[in-house]
C-alpha cells in the first residue's frame, strides 16, 4: 500500500494560509483592474462623444453664421441692384463707384466672418472679378464669364461647400504656392429675386483650416487620430496635415459614415487595438462626419497605473501577512511537533517515556486537552497490554475445549448424502427429495465464504424451506407464488434475509392451520429502489401487536443510528440467550460453535425475528433501507423491504 510522504502540519498550514492570502488578493487585483478598465472605457467613451457632439454643434453654428452672412446679400437693397447692372454700358467713373460700393459691402462681411482668408465676388453682368483678402487688400479686374463658369448644380438660393483645397489667388498676387493656406470655400450663387433660372453673381468665402483646428484640438492627443470627412469621403480636416484635401480610403471610415448617415446618430466601433467614434455634422449646406481613433492602450493607461500601484501595495501587504502568519503557525504548532516526537518514542515500545521530557504546555485549550488525553491513553495502554495477555491465555484454553466438543457440520452433510443414496437405491423418491432439499439448505447455510447472494438464490432457499415444511405436514397444501421481475433476480442482496421472514409467516400466521395457505414473494424496481415483499394469507396481525412491532423496528433504527456498536452487541447477546431458551437440548459447546459461525456470516437463527433482519440490513446499507410490516388485502400480513440501488453494491462490499 502506497503511503503519502510525511509532511508536517505547520508546513501544510503555511501553504494553506499562503493560498488563502494570495488567491483573494489576486482575485481582487484582477477584478479591480477589470472593473477600473471597464469604468474608464465607459467614462472615456461618454466624455468623447459628449465633447465631439459639442464640437459638432460649434462647427455647425459657425458654418451657419457664414452661410447667413453670405445669404444676407439677397436682402441688401443697395448691393443687389448693382449686381444687375451691365458693365459694358457703365462709364469708368460709374464703374469705379460701383466697385467701391461692392468692396465696402465685402468689408462688412469680413466684420461678421473675420477668420476668412479672402472673400471672392464674381459679378457676371458687371463682368468684374473682385477679391478682398484678410489684410483688406482689394483686387479686381474685368472678366467675361462663359456659361461653364456661371453654371450651378445646387438648388437656387442655397449655398454649397467646396472641400478642402489650396487657396486660389486668381492670378492677382502670384505668390509661392507653398505660402497658400488650406481652406474650405463656402459658395453662394446670387439670383435676381425672384428669378431662379440663372444666377447674376457668385459669392465665395474661404475659411481656413485653422478655424477647425482651434475648435477640434481639445478632442485628440498625439496618440489619437482625428478627421472630418464629408459624404463624398473628402477629408475636410485631419490631425495628420498631409491627409487634408485627400480622399479617405479607409474602408472602416466609409462603413462608419454610412452607418451614421443611415441612423443619424453617433457610432462607436471597437477593433482589436483601437476604438473608433463617429459623430455626424449635418446642416443644409454640409454633410460631414467627425471620426476619432483612439488606441486601447491609451484608454487603459490609467488602469495600468492603478494595477501597478495596487500590485505593489498588495505584495507588500502579502509579505507582511505571510511573515506574521508563519511566525504564528510555528509558535502554535511547536507543541504538536514535540508531541509527535513523544508518540513516536511510544510507538517504538518505550512506554516508560515521560511527556515532560519533550514539552511543558500549560494552556487550557484544544492542544492542552489533546496532551492530557494522550497521557491518559498511554497510561491505559500500559494496563491494557497486561490485561490482553491474560485474556489471550484464557481464550486459548476456552477455544481448545470448544474444539474438543465441536461436531463438524460437514460430517452431518456427508451423512445426509449417504442416506439420500440409500433412498435412491430403494426407490423411495419422496425421502430422497426431502433429504436432498435439506442438504441443499445445509450447504447454503454452511457456505461461509459468500455473505452476498443473488435474490434468485435467496428465493430458492425459501422454496426449499417450504418444501420441507410440506414434507413435515404432508396433509397441508401450502402454495408458494413467485412474482419477480427478471431484472431483480440477479441483484446481490445479504444472505438469509428472506427465510426468517417466511419462517415468521409460518409461526405467527398459523399457515399450517388454515386451508389453502399461500406465501407470495414479489420483487420489482421502481425509481432506483429494490422492493421485496413477503406476503401470506394467514390469520393476520392485531393492531396492538402491529403497533408494538412497528415501534420496535423504529427503535432499532434509532438505536443503531445513535449508539452503533453497543446496539449490535446487545442484539447478538439477546440472540444467544433466545437460542439457549429455544433449544435446550443442544450442548453448550455445539451451540457456541454455531453461534460463532453465524456471527462470521452476519446471520442469526430465524428465532431472532424481524428486528434482527432489519438490524443486518441497516448495518449493511448504512441506514439506506426500510423494513415495514402491515396487513394486506388477503387478511394476512405483508413484510416490505426497500433498498436504494446505489447502496446495494456498497453495502455488500462493506459486509464482505
pLDDT band at 414 (very low <50, low <70, confident <90, very high): low
- The pLDDT, as a whole number, for residue 378 is 77
CB atoms within 10 A of CB 341: 13
Instruction: Please provide the size of the chain in residues.
Output: 656
Q: Count of CB atoms within 10 A of residue 339's CB?
A: 18
Cβ atoms < 10 Å from Cβ of 194: 7
Q: In terms of pLDDT, which residue wins out, 325 or 206?
A: 206
Cell (9 digits) for 427: 426407490
Q: How far apart are CA 27 and CA 46, in angstroms?
A: 28
pLDDT level of residue 422 (50, 70, 90 thresholds): low
In 3D space, the residue among 25, 28, 50, 41 whose CA is nearest the CA of residue 302 turns out to be: 41
Scanning the structure block, which residue is given the C-alpha cell 443473488? 454
- How high is the pLDDT of residue 137? 86
Max Cα–Cα distance, the chain, nearest Å? 168
What's the pLDDT score for residue 227? 93
Strands 235-238 and 267-270: unpaired
Residue 566, pLDDT > 70, answer no
Q: Is residue 64's pLDDT more than 50?
A: yes
pLDDT confidence band for 385 (50 / 70 / 90): low
How many percent of the chain have pLDDT more than 90?
A: 18
Helix (H, G, I), strand (E, B) or coil at 173: coil
List the helix and strand counts (H, then E) for the chain: 19, 18
Q: Are strands 478-484 and 517-526 parallel, antiparallel or unpaired?
A: parallel
**CA-based nearest residue to 434, from 466, 408, 412:** 466
Instruction: Spell out the long-range contacts of 541-549 with Cβ–Cβ below 8 A and sequence spacing 24 or more.
Output: 541/508, 541/629, 541/631, 541/637, 546/629, 546/630, 546/631, 549/610, 549/629
C-alpha grid cell, residue 416: 445426509
Q: What is the mean pLDDT of residues 165-194?
A: 80
pLDDT over 70 percentage in the chain: 80
Cβ proximity of 207 and 181 under 8 Å: no
Asked if 243 contacts 257 with a C-beta cutoff of 8 angstroms, the reply is no
Least confident span in 151-155, 286-290, 373-377, 593-597: 593-597
pLDDT at residue 586, rounded to an integer:
41
Chain center to CA of 31: 16
Higher pLDDT, 326 or 560: 326
CA nearest neighbour of 161 among 293, 59, 278: 59
**Treating both helix axes as pointing N-terminal to C-terminal, what angle do 366-405 and 301-347 enclose, rounded to 10 degrees?**
50
Q: Output the pLDDT for position 51.
A: 92
Q: Does pLDDT of 173 surpass 80? A: no
Section 29-41 average pLDDT: 82
Residue 75 has pLDDT above 50, yes or no: yes
The predicted model scores a pTM of 0.48
Q: Does residue 188 contact residue 284 with C-beta atoms inside 8 Å?
A: no
Q: Which residue has the higher pLDDT, 590 or 11?
A: 11
**Which residue pairs from 433-442 have beta carbons closer than 8 angstroms and sit at least 24 positions apart in sequence?**
433/467, 434/467, 434/468, 434/471, 437/464, 437/467, 437/468, 437/471, 438/464, 438/468, 439/413, 440/464, 441/465, 441/468, 442/409, 442/412, 442/413, 442/416
Q: Which residues of 40-76 are buried (b: 16+ CB within 10 A; e: fewer)?
A: bbeebbeebbebbeebbeebeebbeebbebbbbbeee
Taking all residues of the chain, what is their mean pLDDT, rounded to a whole number? Answer: 79
SS3 349: coil
Q: Average pLDDT, stretch 88-117?
A: 89
The tens digit of pLDDT for each residue in 600-621 reads: 333 333 334 688 788 778 877 7
- For residue 331 the three cell numbers come to 509558535
Q: What is the DSSP letter of 240?
A: S
- At 481, which helix (H) or strand (E)? strand 478-484
Q: How confident is the model at residue 54 (pLDDT cuts 50, 70, 90)?
A: very high
Mean pLDDT score, 562-577 = 51
Question: In terms of Cα–Cα distance, which of 132, 171, 157 is closest to 71?
Answer: 157
Taken in order of first residue, the domains within the chain and their CATH numbers are 76-211 (3.30.450), 220-299 (3.30.450.20), 361-405 (no CATH), 480-655 (3.30.565)
Q: Say how many CA atoms lie within 13 Å of 302 toward its Cβ.
A: 10
The predicted structure's pLDDT at residue 459:
92
- Which of 557, 559, 577, 568 has the alpha carbon at shortest distance from 624? 557
Separation of alpha carbons 325 and 331, rounded Å? 10
Higher pLDDT, 114 or 617: 114
Q: pLDDT band for 297, please (50, 70, 90 cuts).
A: confident
Average pLDDT over residues 15-44: 83
Residue 162: name the closest of 142, 187, 180 by CA: 187
- Look at 138-142, 203-207, 395-399, 478-482 and tell me which has the smallest mean pLDDT: 395-399
CA proximity to 247, closest of 164, 365, 332: 164
pLDDT for res 597:
43
Rounded mean pLDDT, 404-428: 60
State pLDDT tens for residues 255-290. Answer: 888 888 888 888 999 888 899 999 999 887 788 999
- Exposure letters 229-265 (e unless 16+ CB within 10 A, then b): bbeebbbbbbbeeebbbeebeeeebeebbeebeeeee
Range with the largest mean pLDDT of 134-148, 275-289, 434-448: 275-289
What pLDDT shows up at residue 605? 38
Q: Which residues pair with 268 in a beta bridge?
A: 277
Q: Which tens digit of pLDDT belongs to each residue from 491-543?
A: 988 888 898 899 888 888 888 788 888 999 999 999 889 999 999 988 888 88
Amino acid at each position: 500500500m502506497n503511503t503519502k510522504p510525511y509532511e508536517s502540519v505547520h508546513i501544510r498550514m503555511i501553504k494553506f494560509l499562503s493560498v488563502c492570502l494570495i488567491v483573494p488578493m489576486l482575485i481582487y487585483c484582477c477584478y479591480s483592474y477589470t472593473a477600473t478598465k471597464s469604468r474608464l472605457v465607459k467614462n472615456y467613451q461618454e466624455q468623447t462623444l459628449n465633447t465631439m457632439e459639442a464640437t459638432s454643434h460649434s462647427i455647425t453654428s459657425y458654418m451657419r453664421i457664414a452661410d447667413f452672412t453670405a445669404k444676407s446679400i439677397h436682402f441688401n437693397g443697395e448691393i443687389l441692384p448693382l449686381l444687375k447692372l451691365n458693365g459694358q454700358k457703365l462709364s469708368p467713373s460709374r464703374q469705379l463707384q460701383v466697385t467701391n460700393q461692392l468692396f465696402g459691402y465685402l468689408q462688412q462681411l469680413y466684420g461678421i466672418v473675420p477668420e476668412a482668408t479672402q472673400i471672392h465676388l464674381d459679378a457676371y453682368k458687371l463682368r468684374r472679378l473682385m477679391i478682398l483678402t484678410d489684410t483688406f487688400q482689394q483686387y479686381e479686374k474685368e472678366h467675361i464669364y462663359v456659361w461653364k463658369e456661371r453654371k450651378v448644380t445646387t438648388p437656387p438660393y442655397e449655398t454649397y461647400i467646396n472641400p478642402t483645397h489650396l487657396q486660389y489667388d486668381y492670378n492677382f498676387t502670384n505668390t509661392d504656392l507653398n505660402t497658400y493656406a488650406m481652406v474650405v470655400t463656402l459658395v453662394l450663387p446670387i439670383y435676381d429675386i425672384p428669378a431662379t433660372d440663372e444666377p447674376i453673381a457668385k459669392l465665395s468665402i474661404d475659411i481656413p483650416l485653422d478655424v477647425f483646428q482651434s475648435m477640434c484640438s481639445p478632442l485628440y492627443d498625439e496618440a489619437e487620430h482625428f478627421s472630418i470627412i464629408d459624404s463624398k469621403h473628402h477629408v475636410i480636416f485631419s490631425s495628420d496635415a498631409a491627409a487634408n484635401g485627400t480622399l479617405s480610403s479607409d474602408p472602416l471610415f466609409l462603413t462608419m459614415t454610412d452607418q451614421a448617415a443611415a441612423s443619424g446618430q453617433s457610432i462607436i466601433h471597437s477593433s482589436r487595438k483601437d476604438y473608433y467614434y463617429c459623430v455626424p455634422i449635418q446642416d443644409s449646406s454640409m454633410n460631414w462626419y467627425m471620426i476619432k481613433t483612439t488606441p486601447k492602450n491609451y484608454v487603459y493607461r490609467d488602469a495600468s497605473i492603478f494595477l501597478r500601484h495596487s500590485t505593489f501595495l498588495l505584495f507588500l501587504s502579502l509579505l507582511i501577512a505571510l511573515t506574521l502568519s508563519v511566525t504564528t503557525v510555528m509558535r502554535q504548532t511547536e507543541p504538536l511537533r514535540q508531541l509527535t516526537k513523544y508518540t513516536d518514542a511510544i510507538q517504538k515500545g518505550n512506554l516508560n517515556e515521560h511527556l515532560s521530557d519533550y514539552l511543558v504546555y500549560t494552556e487550557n485549550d484544544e492542544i492542552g486537552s489533546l496532551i492530557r488525553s494522550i497521557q491518559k491513553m498511554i497510561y491505559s495502554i500500559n494496563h491494557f497490554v497486561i490485561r490482553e495477555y491474560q485474556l489471550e491465555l484464557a481464550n486459548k484454553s476456552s477455544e481448545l475445549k470448544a474444539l474438543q466438543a465441536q461436531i463438524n457440520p460437514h460430517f452431518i452433510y456427508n451423512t445426509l448424502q449417504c442416506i439420500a443414496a440409500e433412498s435412491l437405491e430403494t426407490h423411495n423418491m419422496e425421502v430422497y427429495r426431502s433429504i436432498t432439499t435439506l442438504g441443499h439448505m445445509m450447504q447454503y447455510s454452511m457456505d461461509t465464504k459468500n455473505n452476498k447472494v443473488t435474490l434468485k438464490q435467496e428465493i430458492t432457499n425459501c422454496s426449499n424451506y417450504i418444501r420441507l415444511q410440506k414434507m413435515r405436514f404432508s396433509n397441508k397444501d401450502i402454495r408458494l407464488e413467485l412474482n419477480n421481475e427478471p431484472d431483480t433476480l440477479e441483484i446481490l442482496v445479504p444472505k438469509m434475509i428472506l427465510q426468517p421472514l417466511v419462517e415468521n409467516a409460518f409461526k405467527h400466521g398459523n399457515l399450517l392451520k388454515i386451508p389453502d395457505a399461500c406465501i407470495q414473494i414479489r420483487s420489482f424496481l421502481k425509481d432506483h429502489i429494490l422492493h421485496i415483499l413477503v406476503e401470506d394469507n394467514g390469520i393476520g396481525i392485531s393492531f396492538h401487536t402491529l403497533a408494538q412491532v412497528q415501534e420496535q423496528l423504529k427503535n432499532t433504527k434509532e438505536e443503531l443510528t445513535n449508539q452503533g456498536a453497543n446496539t449490535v452487541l446487545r442484539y447478538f447477546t439477546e440472540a444467544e440467550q433466545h437460542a439457549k431458551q429455544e433449544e435446550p437440548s443442544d450442548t453448550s459447546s455445539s451451540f457456541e460453535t454455531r453461534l460463532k459461525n453465524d456471527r462470521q456470516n452476519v446471520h442469526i437463527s430465524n428465532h431472532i425475528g424481524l428486528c434482527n433482519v432489519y438490524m443486518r440490513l441497516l448495518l449493511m446499507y448504512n441506514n439506506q433501507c426500510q423494513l415495514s410490516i402491515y396487513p394486506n388485502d388477503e387478511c394476512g400480513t405483508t413484510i416490505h423491504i426497500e433498498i436504494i440501488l446505489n447502496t446495494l453494491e456498497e453495502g455488500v462490499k462493506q459486509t464482505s
